């Protein structure tokens, strides 16, 4: 990857543009926070993105938002390549992205929790009080990418990112 980046400065500028593109479902975090943007190549200029959830209706919105941001910033000649393999994992969410999710009231998945180690019944941490005394209310939260949980200590419902 690094050897393919011909101009780091341009790649940095493109990444800075993408850092302003909010996730369509969780506007508090950007597509770079979530790790959806996998990288930038400069020859030919291409942004590689991996959607968080295959079949998620947000996928097309994300691509359109990235396209619009690139066009507006003068990067109309930069292409977008959607890559489905390897599949997106919650481990790609940046530390900053995790903090933004928590501040937004969504329990971020624990770092290093792969799809095998994180079963549906493992506890989510309450984004409000930090309690692990929580339970899943519904597999279907406000969007297909999230599940609805409830904290048994502070009684607050919250969304949890489904782990992939
Ligand atoms: Zn709580």
Q: Per-residue pLDDT tens for 28-74?
A: 999 999 999 999 987 788 999 998 876 666 778 899 999 999 999 99
* Tokens of residue 85, six digits: 């393999």
Q: To which H or E segment does residue 133 belong?
A: none
Architecture in CATH for domain 2-82: 2-Layer Sandwich (3.30)
User: What is the CA(114)–ligand 1 centre distance, in A?
Assistant: 24
Q: How far is the CA of 103 from the centre of ligand 1 (A)?
A: 13
Ligand 1 centroid to 88 CA: how many Å? 28
Specify the domain boundaries for CATH 3.30.300.130 within the chain: 2-82
Write the Ramachandran bin of 49: left for phi over 0, alpha for psi from -120 to 50, otherwise beta: beta
Report how far residue 31's alpha carbon sits from residue 23's, in angstroms, rounded to the nearest whole number: 5
What's the CA-to-centroid distance between 107 and ligand 1, angstroms? Answer: 11
pLDDT in tens, 95-106: 999 999 999 998
**Ligand 1 centre and the CA of 3: distance in Å?**
46
pTM score = 0.73
- Here the tokens at position 21 are 């593109």
Segment holding 45, helix H or strand E: strand 45-49
| 77 CA → ligand 1 middle, Å | 47
Indicate the DSSP class of residue 30: B
């Amino acid at each position: 990857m690094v050897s393919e980046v011909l101009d780091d400065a341009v790649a940095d500028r493109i990444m800075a543009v993408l850092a302003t593109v909010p996730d369509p479902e969780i506007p508090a975090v950007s597509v770079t926070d979530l790790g959806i943007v996998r990288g930038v190549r400069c020859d030919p200029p291409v942004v590689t993105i991996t959607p968080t959830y295959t079949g998620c209706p947000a996928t097309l919105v994300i691509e359109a938002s990235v396209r619009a941001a690139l066009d507006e910033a003068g990067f109309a000649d930069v292409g977008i390549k959607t890559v489905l393999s390897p599949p997106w994992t919650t481990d790609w969410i940046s530390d900053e992205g995790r903090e933004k999710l928590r501040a937004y009231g969504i329990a971020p998945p624990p770092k290093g929790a792969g799809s095998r180690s994180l079963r549906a019944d493992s506890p989510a941490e309450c984004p409000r009080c930090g309690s692990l005394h929580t339970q899943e209310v519904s597999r279907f939260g406000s969007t297909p990418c999230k599940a609805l949980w409830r904290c048994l200590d502070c009684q607050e419902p919250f969304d949890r990112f489904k782990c992939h």
